[in-house]
Amino acid sequence: MNKDFFRDEQDDIRDLLRRYENLKTGRAQGILYEDAFERIIDYYDEQDDFEKAMEAVDVGLEQYPCSSTLIIKKADLLIAGRQYKEALEYLDRASLFDYHDIDLYILRTDAYLALDQQEKAVELLQEAIELFDGEERINLLFELSDVYDDYEEFDKIFDCLKLILEYDPNNEEALYKICFWTDFTGRYEQSIRIHQTIIDEYPYNELAWFNLAAAFQGLKLYEKSIDAYKYAIVINEKFDYAYRNMADAFIRIRKYKDAIEALEKVVELARPEDVIYEAIGHCYDKIANYAQARFYYRKASHLNQDDAKLYYKVALTYMNESQWKKAVKYLETALRISPGNREFNLAVGDCYKNLEDIDLAIEYYTKVVNAKPKSISGWESFIRCLYEVGYIEEAFKKIELAEQLAGKKAIFRYYKAAVLFTLGMNKEALIQLQIALNESPGMVKKFISLAPTHLQHPGVSELLAQSKRKK
């Protein structure tokens, strides 16, 4: 049946084209009606034959000079040919015969925008919205929202979508779009009111529930967000984006097992994605199930082999288990993809330090501080390493270099105090410790973790007691 219909349609257009050619050459038998010219113009337009489409519309207008439909088609072709001013003249002419054709307003808008006359486009559409109702009014509001989008008036896009949903609360396109623009404009409270109103009238509108949940999520009301996502899933148990967003909300409130369950549902319903596997790995990481975390990080890396971060995350799970050699293997893979990454080099340095390969550890820490000499974390790891392996004088030199390059930070003063105590320079050490405590008393735990034995020095215990009283 469909094939027969398609064949009949082709025969019909061939017959029209033959009669049209006869008309042009003066051999016409009978007449071509207005709708026949419309079909011929559309045929050439679909074939991207602009010249023949324009010729057909001109021939048609010779036969039907008062046809608003053909005049509008002429204007449409002129716009496609970037002849905007001439197109506007034809649209003015068409409006004399039928001012209530919605295409008049849409094409005029296109022409005004092409001429960079946004104000005229907006004014025209606002006027048109009052003239039409139903589906046509909604189409014009979408057109107006597109104009605002082009000119980056984003709050007005939200307002247009809000109006559309007042006229048609179940309009899927508007519901999809307003979710994005709510997040973009930050108008979460308004979105909540809009969607609660829709849900009151249409309680089984899954998109309204989803948008309500997303708005709660934007306000960091994660428990309410999760409840709303659950309603969306009850209505549509295959709503994978609801599971995806709900998982994010669970992660935000540290309910990692619930997040894993939601993400596994996403895997079941949608195509495999590296970001989903990575998120599952992250959740297992957070509950210290490092074997499962690795499993999912690896699955993610199979889908995105160029993402060095995934190999780094696998390495971190091994580091959390003190499996330093296995961690190094994955860190080396990460560094092949991103050789200059300071995080990766720093982690390799930490691994070699724990493997007691101090020369290699120093080599990687040196790379880190050379790459970013003003970064405190690199210097901190380097200095700790030197101190812990007994390279005390070398540690002192690096502290002074760090202060020159990264500034006289409290952390460096704490480490300098520890080094000076170890070198027996107690007076100078107490001065450094006093300054550090004045600058950042909360950072004293770094001093204690590096050199807990120095707590036995009476001067240290007195300074710490004074600092605690002040606090």
Q: Place 235 in a pLDDT band, splitting at 50, 70 and 90.
A: very high
Domain contains 21? no
Q: List the domain range (segments joined by +) for residue 407.
A: 375-471
Q: Place 27 in a pLDDT band, splitting at 50, 70 and 90.
A: low
**Chain segment 136-187, per-residue pLDDT in tens:** 899 999 999 999 998 899 999 999 999 999 999 999 999 999 999 999 999 9
Whether the predicted pLDDT of 11 surpasses 60? no
Which pLDDT score, from 0 to 100, does residue 232 have? 97
Torsion region of 148: left, alpha or beta (phi above 0 gives left; psi -120 to 50 gives alpha): alpha
Residue located via tokens 């994955």: 330
**Chain segment 322-371, per-residue pLDDT in tens:** 999 999 999 999 999 999 899 999 999 999 999 999 999 999 999 999 98
Which pLDDT score, from 0 to 100, does residue 313 have? 98
First to last CA, the chain: 87
Residue 165 to residue 196: CA distance in whole angstroms: 12
How far from 22 is each of 27, 40, 62, 97, 124, CA to CA, in Å? 5, 14, 15, 29, 42
Q: Place 426 in a pLDDT band, splitting at 50, 70 and 90.
A: very high
Domain contains 211? no
Render 322-360 in DSSP notation, one character per residue. T-HHHHHHHHHHHHHHSTT-HHHHHHHHHHHHHTT-HHH
Structural contact between residues 446 and 414, judged by C-beta atoms closer than 8 angstroms? yes
Structure tokens at 159: 């307002």
Who has greater pLDDT, 456 or 318?
Answer: 318
- DSSP state, residue 424: T
Who has greater pLDDT, 299 or 377?
Answer: 299
Residue among 362, 391, 394 at smallest CA distance from 378 = 362
Q: Place 61 in a pLDDT band, splitting at 50, 70 and 90.
A: confident
Which pLDDT score, from 0 to 100, does residue 192 have? 98
Who has greater pLDDT, 317 or 74?
Answer: 317
Whether the predicted pLDDT of 99 surpasses 80? no
Who has greater pLDDT, 118 or 271?
Answer: 271
Domain contains 49? no
Domain contains 462? yes
Residue 107 to residue 86: CA distance in whole angstroms: 12
Whether the predicted pLDDT of 265 surpasses 90? yes
Query: Please, what is the average pLDDT of the chain?
Result: 90
Coil, strand, or helix at residue 364? helix
Render 107-174 in DSSP notation, one character per residue. HHHHHHHHTT-HHHHHHHHHHHHHH--HHHHHHHHHHHHHHHHHTT-HHHHHHHHHHHHHH-TT-HHH
Which pLDDT score, from 0 to 100, does residue 76 have? 82
Average pLDDT over residues 194-205: 97
What CATH code is carried by the domain that includes residue 409? 1.25.40.10
Rounded to 5 degrees, φ, ψ at 396 are -60, -45
Which pLDDT score, from 0 to 100, does residue 5 have? 37
Which pLDDT score, from 0 to 100, does residue 35 have? 79
Who has greater pLDDT, 363 or 96?
Answer: 363
Structural contact between residues 140 and 128, judged by C-beta atoms closer than 8 angstroms? yes
* Angle between helices 274-286 and 308-320 in degrees, nearest 10: 20
Structure tokens at 416: 């300098």
Structural contact between residues 191 and 223, judged by C-beta atoms closer than 8 angstroms? no
Global pTM exceeds 0.85: no
Domain contains 386? yes
Domain contains 447? yes
* Total count of domains within the chain: 1
Residue among 347, 433, 92, 314 at smallest CA distance from 74 = 92
Whether the predicted pLDDT of 375 surpasses 90? no
Residue 362 to residue 443: CA distance in whole angstroms: 25
Domain contains 419? yes
Structural contact between residues 188 and 215, judged by C-beta atoms closer than 8 angstroms? yes
Candidate from 88-102, 375-389, 406-420, 446-460 with smallest mean pLDDT? 88-102
Candidate from 147-156, 191-200, 211-220, 228-237 with smallest mean pLDDT? 147-156
Q: Place 471 in a pLDDT band, splitting at 50, 70 and 90.
A: low
Domain contains 431? yes
